[in-house]
Chains A and B, each alone.
Chain A
Amino acid sequence: MDAAARRADYADARLVRTRHERLATRNGALDGLDSLEAEGIGVRVRAGGSWGFAATAGTEKADAEEALERALAVAAAQPASPGTPLCPEPPARGEYESPAERDPFAVPLEDKLAVLAAADAGLRTEPGVVLTLARCEALRVEKLFASTEGALCLQRLTECGGGLTAVAVDGDESQTRSYPASHGGDVAQAGYEHFVSLDLAGQAPRVAEEAVALLSAPPCPPGRRTLVLAGEQLGLQIHESIGHAVELDRVLGREASYAGTSFVPAGGLGSLRVGSAQVNVTADATNAGGLGSFRWDDEGVEGRAVPILRSGVLAGFLSSRETAAEIGLERSGGCMRADGFARQPIVRMTNVNLDPGDAGTLEDLIAATDDGLLIETNRSWSIDDRRLNFQFEGEAAWEISGGERGRMLRNPSYAGMTPEFWASCDAVCSPSEWRLVSLLDCGKGEPGQVMRVSHGCAPARFRDVEVGVV
């Protein structure tokens, strides 16, 4: 940092060590057993208003110095640009380690494979199932961050989880069921105990049965219906239509090249209505177990809770030191995250959560619904580059009739426009139903970065939604 301070207005460096293990079985055989160990340094500089970033696999002083040279060179090669001041931030100092009761990397491979083999066998109990998948993964990231402002902090984050999938086929019809979720299962910032708690083997027969039952289930009829969303499907709805829409780099047009912009204007704070009075959303980097949790973000800002929507009205953004300064905020929201050492930090979601309401349990909500559909697990998702027009499809839906959960339907798609959809939310379940769901594959940035996030939510009800659109 001493060398960088002499030649840049600002610089930071991250030394990142990553250990990632992914095991999966497929139709009873090993699908893959991947073990990654990587380390390197990413150096970010700001010189003359331009940013430069360089990554190197080496971790010696000479490697860091060489990366600094490349970062300075690439910053200097760009057309001159006026730089926005960075929001002030006290230098991050200290160490942090996320809680994990049982180190997942200390558990023998044989033990993990035994759990997966039992789960996979449980999925292969139903004729008609052509593909079974059971997976377990563990991730550990150690990040040492230093800046020319005097920051020096170390954090060690551990994640673990897994899931199941069964695909059934009959002629031209194919149906999928997953547990606990479709996007890689359920992963938490925790130890091996989280994977064990999923009880994959216990759930497998039900998952397979439902996949086969879907083949002959009635299709979701088109029309406008009341929709109860829960679990992963609600988490993804929050992610795509609220989380991305309030990323301040998108709002300011910085991501127009790739991910797109946003329907949310920077000037909408305190006035823009995005949802009904039931809708309160908070971005919280301090949730225990959340994949968007950390002590400091990747530019050294302490993780915290930031209000995003209050009674449906825009209350905040996901921001960085630069973007926050650009719209006159006093402090960054602490949302800069990078995918490993070879990517620079960009504005990312922390845990963007729908705060619980007072509608009781899921069963209470169903009992209070005369006619509708319940969707929990996602199969397909798409949203436009301003985060307005979306179309999702769940793996399965359950009819709600007269306050009771009824038959299962296949191909339950629904579509809408973000503000109208969230304005139709008239109930959110109580704190007892609130839990984090994980998404492991959020893509953004150029070069591309994949980020892992969680969304806390309790089941919620939406009125007059267009369903059966595909």
Chain B
Amino acid sequence: MNPLELAERAAAVARGDALAHVSRERSLMLRFADGRPTQATSVDDVFVELAVARDGHVGRARTNETGTDALTACARRAETAADAAAAASRRGPHPGFGAIRAAPGAGGAAHAGLANGGQQGEGPGPAAGPASPTVDFVGPTPTNSTLGALDASAGGDALRTVFAVAQRHGLSAHGIWTSGVEERAVAVSGGGAVLDRTTDAFLKVILIAPSGRSGYASQTARSAAALEPERVTERAAAKAAAAGEPVELPPGEYTVVMEPQAVGWLVDLLGGTALNGLAHAEGRGALTGRLGEAVAAPSVNLADSPGAAATLPRAFDAEGVPKRPTALIQDGVARAVAHDLRSAALAGAESTGHAVAPGGDHWGPHPVNLVMAGGSAADLEELCAPVERGVYVTRLWYANVVRPKETMITAVTRDGTFLIEDGRVTRPLRDLRLTDSLLGILSRVSQLTAGQELTSEGEFYGRRFAYGVVSPGMRAAAVRFTGASG
């Protein structure tokens, strides 16, 4: 099945201004716990989403049947929804889908896309490089041999390596190995069709010591072949096997050194709150009325860079809008927020290519290729060096927004929290609850590592959509902790 042809076929059966979004997922995931496999999942599925715009309202219908009758029925449902909405209320804010625009630098308007194998020139810094990461790529469906992504035996081998390293350290191993191929095609009735083909892989290892201490490490990559199970497991082992009884730190404000994984989580949360163009346009965003103001330390540079070498690249969003590098925070100054067609229309701006769903997702647009520029510290040890007494955080868990306009969040540390004393990590800490403002933390950044990592949580709810944040390690002052965990 060719997703591009399917999208074009679906768009053709809809009447009026319509968009077809096809997503095909083929994926494998192996889970393990306590040093043995527990669950293994193989998915092969396709979804067709048809969106019809009428007087600024968008009706959507989805199906995973691909026959002409099913597509026609899907189109009628979307049309009925859009017609009913147009009849029931005043004009809506969506400008319609029109025709797909060519990405700057792309070979043509009709077919532009991106494969993981395509090497892009865009650098890791914010908004650097060419204007769009597109290359022409419309070919036969990738096969296991050409992409090397769906080989269950590779996963089995990875698990054997993880188990062997864990056993060597006397630790129990928990985690996942996963690999996937995604194809996403968008076609519009006004003309044009585009295709993204991407592969991704993710390995997460949590090792637990007999004492109950746990250590985490993970790796996000474009292909399973790039995963390094031995290195990842050794990193997790170093944390789980750390000597000493956990110390409980009283609530208060501490200087914090965060690994890229923890920074990535915070930055992703910022993407869904302060950088959300819909919240911004509706007057409830944290950056509403603040674009052009300093909102973070001058060392903070954050962009959505869809073609940066370290990211999981994407060429188009769910509305077929070409993605392009977008500077969001530059030298600490808020420059832009992410928009889809609807939020852009409400804000009087242009879409930045961040639609999560055609017509606009309920939660608004979301930047999925965030890159935070690095600083000058050689490594995490150098970040710790000037800290007299502070907290070293491997990762955060159950982060949730408390008050979005203040970017106030709460989260707990997990799987590798340590005390920093006199410039070095000394003892394990009981996990802590962090409650602070995202922009507040970023305004207190004092140093970043030069190197960055592609970080991800490897969460695949609903349709697989692999994305990550490229983040450096970070040191920030006076981060607020409101309690110790169990």
Contacts and interface: CB of A to CB of B under 8 A. Distances in A.
Interface string B35-66: 01111111111110000000011111111110
A384 B84 contact: no
Nearest to A33: B81
Nearest to A63: B44
B467 interface: no
Contacts of B458: 446
B29 interface: yes
A450 B27 CA distance: 18
A381 to B, nearest CB: 6
A34 B206 CA distance: 38
Interface string B376-418: 0000000000000000000001111111111010111010000
B397 A384 contact: yes
B111 interface: no
A167 B284 contact: yes
Given A109-B80, A380-B401, A55 B38 contact: no
Interface residues on A, range: 35 or more
A174 B435 contact: no
A108 B38 CA distance: 45
B37 A256 contact: no
A447 B464 contact: yes
B31 interface: yes
A30 B57 contact: yes
A55 B402 contact: no
Interface in A6-54: 23-25, 27-40, 50-54
Contact of B362 (A32, A379, A448): A32
B350 interface: no
Given A29-B57, A173-B405, A447-B43, A384 B82 contact: no
Interface string A391-405: 101000000000000
A379 to B, nearest CB: 7
A382 B400 contact: yes
A110 B88 contact: yes
A29 B28 CA distance: 40
B78 A35 contact: yes
A41 to B, nearest CB: 11
B82 A33 contact: yes
Contacts, number: 277
A271 interface: no
B410 A382 contact: yes
Contacts of A242: none
A24 B85 CA distance: 10
A447 B29 contact: yes
A470 B408 contact: yes
Contact of B30 (A78, A385, A389, A448): A78
A57 B24 CA distance: 11
Interface string B201-213: 0001010100000
A77 B40 contact: yes
Nearest to A383: B398
B206 A257 contact: yes
B88 A113 contact: yes
Given A37-B77, A172-B405, A469-B435, 12 more contacts: A38-B64, A53-B40, A55-B43, A67-B42, A110-B84, A113-B85, A253-B33, A257-B176, A257-B206, A383-B398, A447-B178, A470-B482
Interface of B: 27-34, 36-47, 56-65, 73-74, 77-78, 80-82, 84-85, 87-93, 152-153, 155-156, 159-160, 163, 172, 174-176, 178, 204, 206, 208, 214, 282-284, 357, 359-362, 397-406, 408, 410-412, 414, 431, 433, 435, 458-462, 464, 482-486
Nearest 5 CB-CB pairs, A to B? A388-B486, A448-B461, A77-B152, A30-B85, A33-B81
25 contacts: A29-B90, A32-B359, A35-B60, A37-B65, A53-B40, A55-B41, A56-B44, A56-B45, A57-B64, A67-B42, A70-B42, A109-B81, A113-B89, A253-B33, A254-B38, A257-B206, A385-B397, A386-B485, A389-B485, A391-B483, A413-B402, A415-B483, A443-B461, A446-B176, A448-B462
